[in-house]
């Protein structure tokens, strides 16, 4: 009888660990849900995990504040990246809208083609909007922080990761002055 109690106690601990581990990860709107096109070629390769960096971008587009508008924006960005920029797919692992939702770009396991020396070793997160002179809503920043913590818990990024703004690793004004000022306050910001 005592052996069964120990067995069920251990099963309970395992289930608690599984539930608490998955609770760290926020809900992500899948590619299928937002209507993604299939990637054109399969040449990008896999993300080197655990990745060392998180690169933050802004899309320099109008903000989207509803799921419907954000899904339309993600489709539009994917079309621009594929049709005009010659990419295989959208150039971000994840995107976050002012609606507070996280949208799957190429996802957890694929490298993107944004910054050649950082593509395979970085998780790229874009905030939809222009953050040159304004800051994203707090729910957007919270969603990004939760997504990053999820990536750490999944071992997608290293526990000692560094956060960079796109302009820190390539000549660009991305992720906008105000968003860069904000991420500089984060404990894992990487001075470059």
Round to whole Å and give the CA distance between 168 and 34.
30
Number of H helices, E strands in the chain: 6, 6
Specify whether the backbone of 119 is left (phi greater than 0), alpha (psi in -120 to 50) or beta. alpha
Q: pLDDT tens for residues 79-105? A: 999 999 888 899 999 999 999 999 999
User: Is 56 exposed, middle or buried, given 0-12, 13-18 or 19+ CB atoms closer than 10 A?
Assistant: buried
For residue 173, pLDDT beyond 70: yes
User: Quick one: fold of 28-183?
Assistant: Lysozyme-like (3.40.80)
Query: How many Cβ atoms sit within 10 Å of the Cβ of residue 4?
Result: 8
User: Where are any strands of DSSP class E within 21-156?
Assistant: 28-29, 51-58, 94-96, 102-104, 122-127
| Domain coordinates in residue numbering, the chain | 28-183
pLDDT value of position 120 = 87
pLDDT value of position 99 = 97
Which residues neighbour 16 within 8 Å (Cβ) at sequence distance 6 or greater? none
- Name the average pLDDT for the chain: 87
pLDDT value of position 43 = 57
Q: Are 91 and 172 in contact (CB under 8 A)?
A: no
For residue 76, pLDDT beyond 90: yes
Segment of 63-72, 77-86, 162-171 carrying the highest mean pLDDT: 63-72
């Amino acid at each position: 009888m005592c052996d069964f109690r120990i067995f069920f106690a251990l099963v309970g601990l395992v289930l608690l660990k599984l539930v608490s581990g998955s609770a760290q990860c926020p809900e992500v709107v899948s590619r299928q849900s937002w209507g993604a096109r299939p990637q054109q070629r399969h040449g990008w390769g896999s993300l080197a995990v655990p990745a060392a960096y998180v690169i933050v971008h802004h899309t320099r587009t109008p903000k989207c504040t509803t799921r419907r508008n954000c899904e339309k924006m993600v489709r539009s960005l994917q079309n621009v990246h594929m049709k005009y920029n010659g990419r295989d797919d959208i150039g971000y692992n994840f995107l976050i809208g002012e609606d507070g939702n996280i949208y799957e770009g190429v996802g957890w396991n694929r490298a993107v083609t944004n910054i050649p020396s950082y593509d395979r070793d970085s998780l790229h997160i874009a905030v939809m909007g222009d953050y040159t002179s304004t800051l994203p809503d707090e729910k957007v920043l919270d969603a990004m922080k939760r997504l990053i913590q999820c990536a750490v818990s999944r071992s997608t990024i290293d526990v000692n990761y560094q956060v960079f703004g796109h302009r820190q690793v390539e000549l660009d004004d991305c992720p906008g002055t105000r968003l860069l000022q904000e991420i500089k306050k984060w404990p894992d910001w990487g001075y470059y």
